[in-house]
Amino acid sequence: MEILNTIRDVENYINGKFEKNNHLRLDVLSPIDGTKISSLPLSKSREIDAAVNAAKQAFHKWSSITLKERVQVFFKYRRLLEKNIDELSKLVQLENGKTYGEAKAEVEKAIELCEFAVSMPQIIVNEVQEVSKGVECKVERKPLGVVASINPFNFPNMVPHWSMPNALVLGNTMIMKPSELVPLSAVRMGELLKEAGLPDGVFNIVNGGKEVVEAICDHPDIKAVSFVGSTKVAKIVYKRATSNLKRCVALGGAKNHLLVLPDANPQMTASNVVASMSGCAGQRCMAASVMVGVDNIQHIIDKMVEDAKKLVPGDTLGSVISSEAKKRIEEYITQAENDGAKIILDGRNITVKGKEGGYYVGPTIIDHVTPEMSVAKEEIFGPVISIIRAKDLDEAIEIENGSNYGNAAAVFTRSGGLAKQVIQRASAGMIGVNIGVPVPREPFSFGGWNESKFGVCDITGRGSIEFWTQNKKTTTKWNPEAQTNWMS
Ligand code: NAD
């Protein structure tokens, strides 16, 4: 890929400079073909200390300028994302393995997230009221201070933009920790923010693994942490950050159920379900993972198999992230087979000509899965869908409600009444009606329920304003000569 010429080893970005350290380095492999494309330092708590110091120094000035001034940087940054979209998309493709189209869609979403951030001055208008004669109460939103954002591998460009633009526009300064599997997109974020005029120290990047995350959770001067990743780690981070008295929102894994009713439009449903389970090789927290087919939906399953067979690994279907991920996904399929389910489309043991070192799993459809099987309960995070047959809608909703997760759920039907029942009774934060990936667009906020999210606020949209700010309440008396009582 031509972009390889511009890639170098990754360093931490602290106070506006990329800094080398002498720590052990981890190789970064492209999942497309398994070749080494970069390396990153496995940083320690002292790099977090340095980044926090830089962010603390920068906070006073950055938080003192007006919101309208801060958004000017993000108007420029948004334009830079647009100008560089081809390069940024290729970078995502190279480090994550998704297709170019999927990578570009991710950067487009990052642009939309910036559009929400620059609209903050139109949204945040502080409240003032004369609460008794001559006495005014005013509520203002103020930033928290130094905050942190911890990120997963599956959206190297978009997910960091869930937190970074809003947190910074609202006056905070930030330490970002990218996934050690995909650290390259964040490097360009730092460079482009600098080009857009962001003052040094406002945005810092510290690379590494678990040790960096623990140092973030423990640092007394970090006021809030946003985390996106697996439920296992979300629980660790949420507990550790909040026990250190920080605000935390921690988004975890998912097991999204799509309920398909027999009256659903067959072609539209089949294409939507297949796109949802296979997009980004199934490595989306909004991907369809279980399809609950109500009554007789065999004609829809037949069309799904037809559609899924058209996907070409290494071309229209990207790779999964690592050889471990490929192994894990294939083990789940084998386990389902051993448990008595029927593999009606099998994506195991795929190699792509010319990319033999890459990590590919073909689209996989498993029928006659039962709710207690591991493929029905656990997050697989690959292009695999498990079909559970239900006799009626009540049983289908019960199956959905039985999941520990609760990111998304969807229903496919032509009946408004039945769709409404699912909307009301599904136990998930984001619901789709005839849509397989029901991601709320800005200004609606993103966030699931149950073990898919820990913490009070959502991570994007209006929910994030609450998360990244605190209210200052000022009471002012404009007529000091007036009689004094408890209300004045
Ligand atoms: P992950 O939990 O393995 O890693 C996320 C981050 O945590 C990384 O930066 C990693 O370095 C760090 N980390 C890993 N193990 C750690 C440990 N033991 N202690 C402290 N830090 C640790 O997640 P991933 O594999 O990078 O991403 C995929 C997961 O993210 C899936 O479960 C997916 O559903 C989830 N995800 C959820 C959402 C959502 O909105 N709910 C969005 C994207 C991804």
By the 8 A CB rule, do 147 and 467 touch? no
CA–CA separation, 75 and 169 (whole Å):
11
* pLDDT of 480 over the 90 cut: no
Assign 3-class secondary structure to the chain. Answer: CHHHHHCCCCCEEECCEEECCCCCEEEEECCCCCCEEEEEECCCHHHHHHHHHHHHHHHHHHHHCCHHHHHHHHHHHHHHHHHCHHHHHHHHHHHHCCCHHHHHHHHHHHHHHHHHHHCHHHHCCCEEEEEECCEEEEEEEEECCEEEEECCCCCCCHHHHHHHHHHHHCCCEEEEECCCCCCHHHHHHHHHHHHCCCCCCCEEECCCCHHHHHHHHHCCCEEEEEEECCHHHHHHHHHHHHHCCCEEEEECCCCEEEEECCCCCHHHHHHHHHHHHHHHHHCCCCCEEEEEEECCCHHHHHHHHHHHHCCCECCCECCCCCHHHHHHHHHHHHHHHHCCCEEEECCCCCCCCCCCCCCCCCCEEEECCCCCCHHHHCCCCCCEEEEEEECCHHHHHHHHHCCCCCCEEEEECCCHHHHHHHHHHCCCCEEEECCCCCCCCCCCCCCCCHHHEECCCCCCHHHHHHHHEEEEEEEEECCCCCCCCCCC
Active site residue 285: yes
**Ligand 1 proximal residues by C-beta, below 6 Å:** 150-154, 159, 177, 179-180, 209-210, 213, 228-230, 233, 236, 251-254, 285, 379, 381, 407, 448, 452
Q: Specify whether the CB–CB gap between 430 and 448 falls below 8 A.
A: yes
Among 179, 216, 286, 384, name the best residue to mutate to test ligand 1's pocket (greatest count of ligand atoms within 8 A of Cβ): 179
pLDDT(37) > 80: yes
423 Cα: distance to centroid of ligand 1 (angstroms): 28
Per residue in 63-112, pLDDT (tens digit) is 999 999 999 999 999 999 999 999 999 999 999 999 999 999 999 999 99
Rg (C-alpha) for the chain, rounded Å, is 24
345-356 average pLDDT score: 96
Pairing, β 135-143 against β 127-132: antiparallel
Instruction: Give the mutation target among 42, 233, 332, 407 for probing the ligand 1 site: most ligand atoms within 8 A of CB.
Output: 233
Contact yes or no for 282/383 (Cβ under 8 A): yes
Residue nearest to atom 43 of ligand 1 (CA): 285
Q: Which band of pLDDT confidence, cut at 50, 70 and 90, is reported for residue 123?
A: very high
Mean pLDDT for all residues in the chain: 96
Using pLDDT thresholds of 50, 70 and 90, give the confidence band for residue 488.
Answer: low
Residue of the nearest CA to atom 19 in ligand 1? 210
- What is the phi/psi pair of residue 282, to 5°? 75, 5
Ligand 1 atom nearest to 448, measured from its CA? 41
Residue nearest to atom 35 of ligand 1 (CA): 229
Q: How far is the CA of 231 from the centre of ligand 1 (A)?
A: 8
**Nearest by Cα to 58 from 175, 213, 142:** 175
Q: How far is the CA of 183 from the centre of ligand 1 (A)?
A: 14
Atom 11 of ligand 1, residue of closest alpha carbon: 209
Q: Cα(20) to centroid of ligand 1, in Å?
A: 26
Please report how many Cα atoms fall inside a 13 Å half-sphere around the Cα of residue 32, on the Cβ side. Answer: 21
Q: Please tell me the distance from the alpha carbon of residue 19 to that of residue 28, in angstroms, as a whole number.
A: 18
Residue to mutate, 162, 176, 228, ligand 1, most ligand atoms under 8 Å from C-beta? 228
Domain with CATH 3.40.309.10 in the chain: 256-433
- Per-residue pLDDT averaged across 163-169, rounded? 98
Rounded Cα gap, residues 55 and 198, in angstroms: 12
Atom from ligand 1 closest to the CA of residue 155: 43
pLDDT for position 1: 66
Atom 21 in ligand 1: which residue has the minimum CA distance? 210
Query: What is the whole-number distance in angstroms between the Cα of residue 476 and the centre of ligand 1?
Result: 47
For residue 318, give both structure tokens: 């990207």
Least confident of 279-283, 449-453, 483-487: 483-487
Band the pLDDT of 39: cuts 50, 70, 90. Answer: very high
Q: Hey, whose CA ends up nearest to atom 34 of ligand 1?
A: 253
User: Phi/psi of residue 239, each to 5°?
Assistant: -65, -45
pLDDT > 70 in the chain, percent: 98
Beta strands 288-294 and 256-260 are parallel
How far, in Å, is the centroid of ligand 1 from the Cα of 154?
9
Dig out the tokens for 254 from the structure.
């998912």
Q: How far is CA 148 from CA 63, 76, 216, 338, in A?
A: 16, 23, 7, 44
Rounded distance between C-alpha atoms, residue 280 and residue 347, angstroms: 15
- Length of the chain in terms of residues written: 488
Q: Where are the domain boundaries for CATH 3.40.605.10 in the chain?
A: 2-252+452-473
pLDDT band of residue 8 (cuts 50, 70, 90) is confident
What number does the ligand 1 atom closest to the CA of 237 have? 20
Per-residue pLDDT tens over the stretch 53-66: 999 999 999 999 99
CB neighbour class for 14 (10 Å; exposed up to 12, middle 13-18, buried from 19): buried
Specify the CATH architecture of the domain 256-433. 3-Layer(aba) Sandwich (3.40)
332: CA distance to ligand 1 center in Å? 19
> What is the pLDDT at residue 126?
86
Q: Which residues have CB under 8 Å from 369's CB, separation 6+?
A: 290, 336, 341, 375, 376, 386, 387, 388
Mean pLDDT of 193-210: 98
What gap in Å lies between CA 172 and CA 148, rounded to an integer?
A: 10
- pLDDT score at 125: 85
∠ CA 393-396-397, rounded to 5°:
90
Q: In degrees, to the nearest 5, what angle opens at C-alpha 251 toward C-alphas 51 and 273?
A: 135
Tens of pLDDT, residues 442-468: 999 999 999 999 999 999 999 999 999
Note the pLDDT of residue 481: 73
Q: What one-letter code names the amino acid at 10?
A: V
For residue 16, CA distances in Å to 36, 76, 107, 202, 203 come to 27, 17, 23, 8, 8
Ligand 1 atom at minimum distance from 251 CA: 41
| Span from the CA of 69 to the centroid of ligand 1 (angstroms) | 34
CATH number of 2-252+452-473: 3.40.605.10
Label residue 206 by pLDDT band (50, 70, 90).
very high
- Catalytic site residue from 217, 280, 285, 457: 285
